[in-house]
Structure 1
């Protein structure tokens, strides 16, 4: 734009400097500055109405040697900028299409506010690659923040199926709904479940009375943020040390950490009490059984263990946990 404006200004100056060599139809007298600007505009754009023409040899020579090259330069700028914009748009669309075609078994996080950012940090703390996470948020600034962390983002209203489709929700393995409003969380959960009947959907609500509605909408797990925060506040007020331990569990990558894993070789048929890891629960057929459940006395092939991963000077055995 700057170069094009400079070319136009230069042409206006050249024509106005030799204004006596031009004729404006039947009008008598030299060109005004407006006439010079008009002639330069229609000349550089190759419109050429012919109402203003050079009549002297000097004016015609200047048109041949100076104005014509400026016209060519102006056209190069115009066409080149247009082609560059079209090429960049096509290249960006090709990159998006290639990215979407390769996206599978990823995690979609709806909402990149306080809860969404914490969820993403937890996923990254559990060694999830940034390329396996897609953020959906109506705020371009929030999506830009996610992009700066190497996470792909989609700007739009997640209650609309076409927005979730752009995030390839239909091929996602996990969907985290961290909307700011409970009614939005319900609509997003309904839409996501309709697009993906098999994904694990974890939804967050502020009020516990809305949790059953989310479960009916298709949420696999519902987290009530206000109740969870209230329980943590109550525990911390009466048992500060216990509150500190629970807070440590919630911070990824530090101290104690809960993880879920499959059985290792040689663990099938054994009791959870005989394992070197601190086992808190066993997930069997989608149901969680605490470590003291009689069913945990003999582990099965398809069981999954919820274990306490110690990363610091904490307990490391079942005996320590029992004590």
Structure 2
């Protein structure tokens, strides 16, 4: 569904596959409203039946006649066999019944077509999206931590089309849509919702919920659906780290422990704390980045890399830190973890950080 462009950049808002109301229930609700309009017109004609004439039977206007007149009137059939004959009845038809007739047509015809078209196209988009979604990243929780994780992924080269957000808050889901991300609203511990987000085919799952118990349950459910994906979980308390790891997390980040350590480093040496925070803050100063080693770098020591400082080498899935004797030379296929100058943030990132 096309959306308005804002914040200096044109974005496409993705409304992801959660049909909240059955189209049949929606049609029934609108049909009931149309019937109420029909009965309202019938009542007005019946109460003022002396102002109408039956040109066919000439026996007055009964309740059935009033219902018949209301039906042919709102459907614009208009046989003309029953007609208003007094001035006030004709005025009432012009000022009240005619607008009700238009409302009836809008509700019963226009909205029926709209509901069927919207729900049908949404189901089709849902089916197409689910078929093509593979090796994507699922972010559970789009608060401050989840949003920062997504911004970091995108700065590291992950495209918005390969990121899916799950959050129970409608406002957070809307924010994710505005950021160009597919999003689902609901409880991330529900197996059916995770299936609809194609968690079983995801490459990475990032869990950053506000409660540690919910994070544990979400981790268990995700791991059952996808035994091979990387599951990165944020928890508040260090004491819960072993439990989350036992639940299947590949990596656990303790938010309170991390903040406390940064505070301690800043107390010992303010400049040291500034450097650490600088590397953790994207878009300015320094940033940590992981990339594939270039062919021209093969055979060289990590210290020979220009414009970046290599602090780790990932070889055959094993991390080797810069002081490791097995990482004195870069080999083809190595992934380098480097500290580099941060890339300038986009206008959207700047505005988002200002809002936060």
Paired positions, count: 289
Deviations 1:254-275 (A, max 9, x none): 1101101111113223321233
Deviations 1:139-165 (A, max 9, x none): 122111211221111111111111111
Identify the match of residue 280 of structure 2 among 228, 250, 261.
250
The separation in 1 between residues aligned to 2:50 and 2:118, in whole angstroms, is 42
Structure 1 residue 3: deviation in Å? 9.3
Determine the structure 2 residue equivalent to 1:93.
123
Map residues 199-238 of structure 1 onto 2, 5 A cutoff: 199-238=229-268
The separation in 1 between residues aligned to 2:46 and 2:315, in whole angstroms, is 87
Map residues 54-73 of structure 1 onto 2, 5 A cutoff: 60-62=82-84
Which stretch of the first structure deviates more once superposed, 255-264 or 184-193? 184-193
TM-score w.r.t. the length of structure 1 is 0.77
Q: Does 2:269 correspond to 1:239?
A: yes
The separation in 1 between residues aligned to 2:235 and 2:106, in whole angstroms, is 57
Which stretch of the first structure deviates more once superposed, 5-14 or 108-117? 5-14
The separation in 2 between residues aligned to 1:302 and 1:224, in whole angstroms, is 31
Structure 1 residue 77: deviation in Å? 4.6
Identify the match of residue 280 of structure 1 among 296, 302, 311.
311
CA contact (8 A) 2:53 2:83 kept: no
3-state SS, counterpart of residue 266 of structure 1: helix
Pick closer, same or farther for the CA change 1:72–1:20 going to 2, 3 Å: closer
CA contact (8 A) 1:18 1:59 kept: no
3-state SS, counterpart of residue 187 of structure 1: helix
Identify the match of residue 83 of structure 1 among 95, 110, 113.
113
Pick closer, same or farther for the CA change 1:13–1:126 going to 2, 3 Å: same
The separation in 1 between residues aligned to 2:121 and 2:44, in whole angstroms, is 40
Map residues 286-297 of structure 1 onto 2, 5 A cutoff: 286-297=317-328
Structure 1 residue 175: deviation in Å? 0.8
Map residues 1-323 of structure 1 onto 2, 5 A cutoff: 13=44, 16-19=47-50, 21=52, 40=66, 44=70, 60-62=82-84, 74=104, 77-276=107-306, 277-311=308-342
Determine the structure 2 residue equivalent to 1:320.
none
CA contact (8 A) 1:21 1:59 kept: no
TM-score w.r.t. the length of structure 2 is 0.70
CA contact (8 A) 1:126 1:252 kept: no
Q: Which runs of 5+ in 2 are unaligned?
A: 1-29, 55-59, 73-79, 344-356
Q: Which runs of 5+ in 1 are unaligned?
A: 24-28, 47-57, 313-323
RMSD, matched Cα: 3.4
CA contact (8 A) 2:39 2:67 kept: yes
3-state SS, counterpart of residue 298 of structure 1: coil
Relative CO higher for 1 or 2, CA cutoff 8 Å, sep ≥ 6? 2
The separation in 2 between residues aligned to 1:234 and 1:45, in whole angstroms, is 78
Greater C-alpha radius of gyration: 1
CA contact (8 A) 1:110 1:177 kept: yes
CA contact (8 A) 1:278 1:307 kept: yes
